[in-house]
Amino acid sequence: MRLWAVVEHDKPLECLTLPDPEPMGTEVVLAVTHCGVCRSDLNLWKGEYDLGGGQTMRVADRGVEFPRAPGHEVVGTVVAVGPDAEGVRIGDSRVVYPFIGCGRCDRCRAGEENLCDQQTILGIMRHGGFSSQVVVPDPRYLFDYGSVEPAFAATLACAGTTAFSAISKLYPLDHDRPVLLIGAGGVGSTALRMLHALGHRRIIVVDLSPGKRAAALAAGATHALDGADPAIVEAVKEAAGGPLLAAIDVVNHPSTAGMALEALSKGGKLVLVGVGRGALEVSLVSMILKPRSIIGSVTGSLGDLRDVIALAQTGRLKPLPMVTMHWDEANAAMERLRDGSVDGRIVIET
């Protein structure tokens, strides 16, 4: 197999050749046909996360070894199955659940492999969709996406599942209650479309980019506000008709999370999704006098991916704009994402 791999941080990906994998036990091998490019792929490439307060976490501390092919939004065709793999046949086209857990702990047994402490995530701890073939440990990570366009189906594995999981944490929430959504990039615009598909009628988007704000309005946002406005908290409250009960921050910087927290009413929930940067100082007294919840959300469960695919199959969940590039343009795809010059999701195709 060939793989576009990170060999050294911040250096161009290199095209390497390795022997084709031989599946053992319940393993399944897929030939990659589509792979979405996500901001987490850039983090892998960059090699560290800014934790705030001058602290950083290195990707290597998450058990990542190089060379590594990134890519965790994968659709592929089954090309080999292990002797104990059931329910999947050669030639099947499937979307892959990438947040692979240990399969043995309480969280994994509950289907929440995204919360497992011993994950081996596709494209981070094992080769992902920037490799021409991926190995999954078990057919339960493979989902039939039916009539959904395969490039769109690929984005459901991370952007879709992550957005769905974040929105779920706002519930119970009446569909007429306004929802603040900060960030209209890949996951953000997926969340916007998903809120819409789930019946939410008042969605206030905040983004710095005029282009992304215009796209958000076209995709069903009721308001699209400029995050650089010094009076953004007031502008959000005015758009919402008062303080809000629900906010999702896909950017997750101190300024955006702080703004969202200020815009919330008593009992409001702020769900943090994006791997942003920095730290937030929170007045503990204010968290009592004006009680609110800050909820971290990382990707989604196997059930979330199943539900998102079902939602896409109804046709109510609209795809975000797709920019397709050839799989061999992996470096150019990463650079375009890093430069922020893309509205929507880049999907590389073989």
Task: Give the footprint of Zn ion on this chain (CB under 5 A).
Answer: 38, 40, 101-102, 105, 108, 116, 158
Nearest distance from residue 204's CB to Zn ion, in Å?
24
Distance of alpha carbon 141 from alpha carbon 78, whole angstroms: 12
Rounded to the nearest 5°, which phi and psi values hold at 65? -120, 145
CA dihedral 22, 26, 31, 33 (to 10 degrees): -160
Nearer to Zn ion, 245 or 317 (CB): 317
Residue type, 196: H
Nearer to Zn ion, 145 or 235 (CB): 145
Nearest distance from residue 127's CB to Zn ion, in Å?
16
Nearer to Zn ion, 52 or 103 (CB): 103
3-state helix, strand, coil in the chain (%, to 5): 30, 25, 40
Tokens of 287: 């968290």
**Cβ atoms of residues 164 and 300 within 8 Å:** yes
In 202-221, which positions are buried (b, 16+ CB within 10 angstroms) versus exposed (e)?
bbbbbbebeebbebbeebbb
Nearest distance from residue 140's CB to Zn ion, in Å?
13
Nearer to Zn ion, 102 or 198 (CB): 102
Nearest distance from residue 107's CB to Zn ion, in Å?
5
Nearer to Zn ion, 71 or 178 (CB): 71
Question: Looking at 62-211, which runs of residues are DSSP E strands?
Answer: 73-81, 93-96, 133-136, 142-143, 179-182, 203-207
Neighbouring CB atoms inside 10 A of 109's CB total 12
Nearer to Zn ion, 82 or 274 (CB): 274
Nearest distance from residue 341's CB to Zn ion, in Å?
19
What contacts 11, CB < 8 A, 6 or more positions away? none
Nearest distance from residue 247's CB to Zn ion, in Å?
21
Tokens of 208: 């710095």
Nearest distance from residue 108's CB to Zn ion, in Å?
3
Distance of alpha carbon 41 from alpha carbon 105, whole angstroms: 27
Q: How many CA atoms lie within 13 A of 161 on its CB side?
A: 28
Nearer to Zn ion, 97 or 292 (CB): 97
Q: Which residues pair with 289 in a beta bridge?
A: none
End-to-end CA distance of the chain: 13
Nearer to Zn ion, 142 or 163 (CB): 163
Neighbouring CB atoms inside 10 A of 110's CB total 12
What contacts 322, CB < 8 A, 6 or more positions away? 151, 152, 155, 344, 345, 346, 347
Nearer to Zn ion, 28 or 124 (CB): 124
Nearer to Zn ion, 121 or 239 (CB): 121
Rounded to the nearest 5°, which phi and psi values hold at 223? -140, 150
Tokens of 40: 């987490």
Nearest distance from residue 101's CB to Zn ion, in Å?
4
Nearest distance from residue 61's CB to Zn ion, in Å?
19
Nearest distance from residue 279's CB to Zn ion, in Å?
22
